[in-house]
Structure 1
Amino acid sequence: MLLIVAQAIPIEIDIDGVARVGKTRVTLDTVVAEFDRGATAEEIVYRYPALKLADVYSTISFYLNHQQEVAQYLQQRQQQAQEIRLVNEQKFDPQGLRDRLLARRVERLG
């Protein structure tokens, strides 16, 4: 007789609120983005060898069954990333840094 047991979805939320797949550092964002670009589960595992094939299939299944919730999560992550980017740019002027590095390079070469 076949015994069917429900398994937990291999997605864990870390201390920073980031959804990670399995026991890896690969994010749900990454797996969803790869899948949306047309990658198969096997291709995703090939690109991210820390992942288990079964975990990728389960993650894709979760995504397909909860697209609205995942889209909201991804939108929140993009908004957080933008906010962090703005804070960092205010703290560390990227143009100023580039200018300083180029000046340092010119000094060394000439």
Structure 2
Amino acid sequence: MTVALIPTKQYIEQRGEGYYIEGTRISLDSIVYAFLDGESLESIAQNFPLLSLEQVFGAITFYLANRELIDTYLRSGEKEFNKLQQSCREKNPLLYQKLKAAQAQKRV
């Protein structure tokens, strides 16, 4: 009996300091945040039409297998975002107020 080697698939690739679905410009962050918000994997795949359901499952599997690393990475990104947000608020308070008002209007 001959044993066939089954190639393993890579679903995530690291580029610079970020993680992306292999061969796409879609960040792992986007998929993980949707998952953490309670979206089903099927719903996530529908919201990202460039991704197959297999790629979404692969991304979530990667996240779950590396949860501590990715959670640390996500927290780091959130800290950087908060710094940029604070800088924007300080440099141009009027623009920041307009952006917040537009964001609030969008939620209504």
SS at match of 2:74: helix
Larger radius of gyration: 1
Aligned pairs, how many? Answer: 96
How far is the alpha carbon of 1:94 from its aligned partner?
A: 3.2
Match of 1:68 in 2: 68
Higher relative contact order (CA 8 A, sep 6+): 1
* CA offsets 1:60-79 (integer angstroms, 9 cap, x no match): 00011111001100000000
Q: Distance in 1 between matches of 2:93 and 2:19?
A: 30
Q: List gaps (5 residues or longer) in structure 2.
A: 99-108
Range with greater deviation from structure 2 (83-92 or 60-69): 83-92
Match of 1:86 in 2: 86
How far is the alpha carbon of 1:32 from its aligned partner?
A: 0.8
Range with greater deviation from structure 2 (62-71 or 40-49): 40-49
Q: Distance in 1 between matches of 2:59 and 2:96?
A: 42
Percentage of matched positions with identical amino acids = 23
Amino acid across the alignment from 1:3: L
TM (normalized to structure 1)? 0.71
Q: Give the conservation status (yes or no) of the 8 Å contact 1:11–1:19.
A: yes
Match of 2:54 in 1: 54
TM (normalized to structure 2)? 0.72
Range with greater deviation from structure 2 (71-80 or 39-48): 39-48
Amino acid across the alignment from 2:87: V
Q: List gaps (5 residues or longer) in structure 1.
A: 99-110
